[in-house]
Amino acid sequence: MEPKTKRIALATLFGAIIFLSKVVVPSPIDKMFIGVHALLLALGALLLRRMGGTHVAIVGGFLTALWRISFASFTFIFALLYGLFVDLFFFVFKVNTTEDKVKTSRLVVTMTVSTALVGLISYYTTVFPFGLLPRNPMLELSILVIGALNGSVAGYFASIMWNKYLKKAKL
């Protein structure tokens, strides 16, 4: 299989798994429980390198948008934003896959910040400009705390998976 085909297949597989994890949990609760989503975006960014998180997010966002057709534009835009944040913070925090090991602390911070940001932005967008949900401070705090914890755990597990099993993978 050619490297480009492998990259597309992996992004599609990860995106499909994200889709399956998103349709099980109703919105806005899905903004909190995104550990699988965050883990696959981190692994996509590590394995596919440049814009890998965004490629995975596009597939997952597209499939989820088809499922949640009434909120398709929101779903796709926020999924894309999440992938872009992951790739941006990989660059900002210098998560380097060419070294012998990925630094766990950098990957954890990257995923924590990305997850917390996209969770809060998507929640506030649905509450304030569009009024799709009523304001609920407890839910806001839950999204921030639980979402950030999910991102941290995903970053930690992604670094373990990368450092022990995946760093020699050729794509």
Q: Is 139 domain-assigned?
A: yes
Q: What total number of domains does the chain contain? A: 1
d(CA 52, CA 48): 5
- Give the model confidence (pLDDT) of 105-115 as tens digits: 999 999 999 99
* CA contacts within 13 A on the Cβ side of 4: 0
> What CATH code is carried by the domain that includes residue 106?
1.10.1760.20
- Give the model confidence (pLDDT) of 19-51 as tens digits: 998 888 877 677 667 899 999 999 999 999 999
What does pTM read for this prediction?
A: 0.92
Q: Is 171 domain-assigned?
A: no
Q: Is 153 domain-assigned?
A: yes
Q: Is 92 domain-assigned?
A: yes
Q: Which of 151, 164, 168 is nearest to 39 (CA)?
A: 151
Q: Is 146 domain-assigned?
A: yes
Which residues span the domain enclosing 102?
3-166
